[in-house]
Amino acid sequence: MVKRIPKIPFERLTPSGTSTLSPFNKPIARVKPGEEVEIETWDAFGGCVTETQTRKQTLDKGVKVPVNPVTGPIHIEGAEPSDTLTVEILDIDLPDHGATTISPGFGGLEGWLNFMTPRTKISQIKAGKVFYKTDGGRVVEVPVDPFIGTIGNSPVYEAINTLTPGPHGGNMDCPDIRPGNILHLPVNQPGALFGLGDVHAVQGDGEVGGSAIEVPAVVKLRFGLKKGYTIAWPRVESPDEIMTVCSAKPLEDAARLAYRELVNWMATDHGWQRDDAYMFLSIAAKARIAQIVDPLYTVVAKLPKKYLKK
């Protein structure tokens, strides 16, 4: 039977406890490398945005709306600083609906569209599709493409809020962190102190409005360790591609970091000269704008594995 880690009860969600990745939080579970595990996650609103209740209405009732709570920290046995943690994403189990919001003062086009009213939409999810109802009453079907929005290890000595991405992972909102792929994360603490949440049923590149189809979920993972192998930023492997996931402001710095990490990866593991790798990326790299709405912006740079072969 697969080990299951339940989500933290609503009344125990706290800013410093579940809205940070941090060395100061006590592990809620221990997992062995190689073991399969199912982890329950809250949505980014801690369940407070529903068909009948907006985020604001919850606040108005005096309920503290949790900010992007993660399930964690999870202690990975044997993980030590200078190791790399691999996270194989086996499956994501979606609920039957998800929430999307926009809000003045937040989001990628705030100040560019000058909209004034917060909006909430609940979309049904069924048979691999999201059913988005337009204002005109039409229903648009978008295939689900679920992934984990917030996932990471504890930083070295800071407590970083779960809205912010960085070298430790965090709120990368990167659609490539999905079933079938393997995420690599730097380990900064004994046990890694891993946490995750903020699953999206599907998201557009850039997550431009500030939220996607936000869902609670059950995520099935298998952890691994690359002992003594150190990386500077999160990486992803799909069956066909290697990817680096970097976050910065302005957005071009996120892109530069991601390309540089790709150059480093090609040089360290695949024998490329760094200048040569740089030239080659200029003709063969792919890139994705993951998001431009969090405190740092995230870019994924990618290279097909076939080009790496000796």
Say whether residue 131 binds a copy of itself (CB under 8 A). no
Structural tokens at position 109:
């086009």
Say whether residue 108 binds a copy of itself (CB under 8 A). yes
Range in contact with a copy of itself (rule: CB under 8 A) among 32-40, 81-89, 217-225, 291-299? 291-299
By C-beta, is 71 or 211 nearer to a copy of itself?
A: 211
By C-beta, is 93 or 158 nearer to a copy of itself?
A: 158
Say whether residue 99 binds a copy of itself (CB under 8 A). no
What's the closest the beta carbon of residue 188 comes to a copy of itself, in angstroms?
11
Site for a copy of itself in 208-227 (CB under 8 A): 208-213
- Beta strand pairing status for 217-226 and 194-200? unpaired
Three-class SS state of 57: helix
Question: Which one-letter amino acid corresponds to residue 18?
Answer: T
Question: Which one-letter amino acid corresponds to residue 70?
Answer: V
Closest CA to 125 of 150, 158, 153, 100: 100
Say whether residue 170 binds a copy of itself (CB under 8 A). no
Say whether residue 13 binds a copy of itself (CB under 8 A). no
Three-class SS state of 194: strand
What is the DSSP secondary-structure string of 251-310?
HHHHHHHHHHHHHHHHHHHH---HHHHHHHHHHH-EEEEEESSSSSEEEEEEEEGGGT--
Question: Which one-letter amino acid corresponds to residue 60?
Answer: D
Say whether residue 82 binds a copy of itself (CB under 8 A). no
Say whether residue 28 binds a copy of itself (CB under 8 A). no
Angle, alpha carbons 221-223-227 (nearest 5°): 165
Say whether residue 23 binds a copy of itself (CB under 8 A). yes
Say whether residue 130 binds a copy of itself (CB under 8 A). yes
Site for a copy of itself in 228-267 (CB under 8 A): 248-252, 255-256, 259-260, 263
By C-beta, is 20 or 150 nearer to a copy of itself?
A: 20
- Beta strand pairing status for 84-93 and 217-226? antiparallel
By C-beta, is 60 or 275 nearer to a copy of itself?
A: 275
Structural tokens at position 42:
């809250």
By C-beta, is 87 or 213 nearer to a copy of itself?
A: 213
- Beta strand pairing status for 36-41 and 3-5? parallel
By C-beta, is 171 or 211 nearer to a copy of itself?
A: 211
Say whether residue 121 binds a copy of itself (CB under 8 A). yes
Name the residue with tokens 């890139």. 287
Say whether residue 284 binds a copy of itself (CB under 8 A). yes
C-alpha dihedral (78, 79, 84, 88), degrees to nearest 10: 70
Say whether residue 205 binds a copy of itself (CB under 8 A). yes
Which one of 172, 202, 245, 246 is in contact with a copy of itself (CB under 8 A)? 202
Say whether residue 158 binds a copy of itself (CB under 8 A). yes
Say whether residue 84 binds a copy of itself (CB under 8 A). no
- Both ends of the chain: CA-CA distance in Å? 41
What's the closest the beta carbon of residue 177 comes to a copy of itself, in angstroms?
17
DSSP state of 202: -
Structural tokens at position 200:
């999206």
By C-beta, is 86 or 189 nearer to a copy of itself?
A: 189
